[in-house]
Amino acid sequence: QVQLVESGGGLVKPGGSLRLSCAASEFTFSDYYMSWIRQTPGKGLEWVAYLSGSATTIYYADSVKGRFTISRDNAKNSLYLQMNSLRAEDTAVYYCARGQKPFLRPVPSSYGLNLWGQGTKVTVSS
């Protein structure tokens, strides 16, 4: 079935690193922009990063720029988020997500995000 499955979350100390993965199934992964979105009780939902199918267009939120790197391996139908220099405020559930239409940026968009993974929890604490 069409789905996204995240993995790689866990507990890490401030300043540490973590790599999240998102495995895609049953759709032409390389045709879609993919996003990482995080959710915290305090700040709600925040768009962290997105990447075009060819990996030529990349967006990062200011809060993660220079620390996080989004990437993809279309041969493996996988999306990644390398998180370095982690801070307490990066603690969140991280979701990968896909838009309804291929080749279109996720924002601004008339179509929204219609496919989300189940989320993976990242806790940054000493």
Q: How far is the CB of 113 from another protein (least distance, A)?
A: 6
Closest to another protein by CB, 19 vs 43, is: 43
Burial 88-119 (b: 16+ CB within 10 A, else e): eebbbbbbbbbbebeebebeeeeeebebebeb
Contact 37, 51 (CB under 8 A): no
Pairwise CA distance, residues 83 & 70, whole Å: 9
Nearest distance from C-beta of residue 56 to another protein, angstroms: 18
Task: Summarize as ranges the residues that interact with another protein (CB under 8 A).
Answer: 44-47, 59, 61, 95, 100, 106-114, 116-119
Closer residue to another protein in complex, CB, 16/27: 27
Work out how close the CB of 15 gets to another protein at its nearest, in angstroms, rounded to a whole number.
26
Tell me the two tokens of residue 27: 């759709």
| Residue among 17 and 25 whose Cβ is closer to another protein | 25
